Amino acid sequence: MPVVLIVEDEPDVAETYNLWLADEYEVRMAQSGDEGLAELDETVDVVLLDRMMPGLSGDEALERIRERGLDCRVAMVTAVEPDFDILEMGFDAYLCKPIRSEQLHETVENLLKRSQYDDLLQEYYSLVEKQATLEATKSTAELADNEAYVDLRDRVDNLETDLGDTLGGIDDDEDFIATLRGLSDVEE
């Protein structure tokens, strides 16, 4: 059974996530960034990490998770509206509270699938997640004026080319996306 670590300082929210996930996953819970790091080991597959917590913030906890080099996927589950600072963060998914049960399940399932992919594909999905998050909250003008976002978009385009070459020379975006979806379906 996959292991999901919930790091959330609001006990009611953490317990809600636990109730939603406990039938399908082994769930561990922590109420602070420090507690979450203490619970984290190589058996954890997915971390659901709140950004704003007293003491060690979710941002700082995320940095330490990545420094440890553990092979877990991390979803930020937060009330903090995303800004361009997320471009520097090493998360795999970003969910804005409040969230629904279906949304949480879908995110955990997708992150578990991604953990089976190679590093190039994982990087691609992480960057696409950041791109989609910013595109959902920022205007076209804001995006165009942000150099880090433009660099991100260029990196995504380059990865699509690299992955397309790896996957047999896929020429257009629709074929590329269809091929990636096909890979996901095969792994299910």
Same domain, 9 and 102: yes
Same domain, 157 and 75: no
Q: What is the domain range of residue 85?
A: 3-116
Same domain, 99 and 172: no
pLDDT tens-place string over residues 42-70: 999 999 999 999 889 999 999 999 999 88
Domain boundary among 116, 143, 178: 116
CATH code of 101's domain: 3.40.50.2300
Residue 186 host element (H or E)? helix 173-187
Same domain, 84 and 153: no
Same domain, 17 and 78: yes
Overall domain count for the chain: 2
Whole-number Cα distances in Å, 157 to 70, 91, 117 = 27, 20, 19
Nearest to 30 by CA among 20, 43, 39, 17: 39
Same domain, 143 and 175: yes
Same domain, 107 and 153: no
Q: What is the pTM of this model?
A: 0.69
pLDDT tens-place string over residues 68-110: 988 899 999 999 888 898 888 889 999 999 999 999 999 999 8
Whole-number Cα distances in Å, 85 to 77, 130, 152, 173 = 16, 10, 12, 27
**Confidence (pLDDT) at 176:** 52
Domain boundary among 59, 88, 116: 116
Same domain, 9 and 100: yes
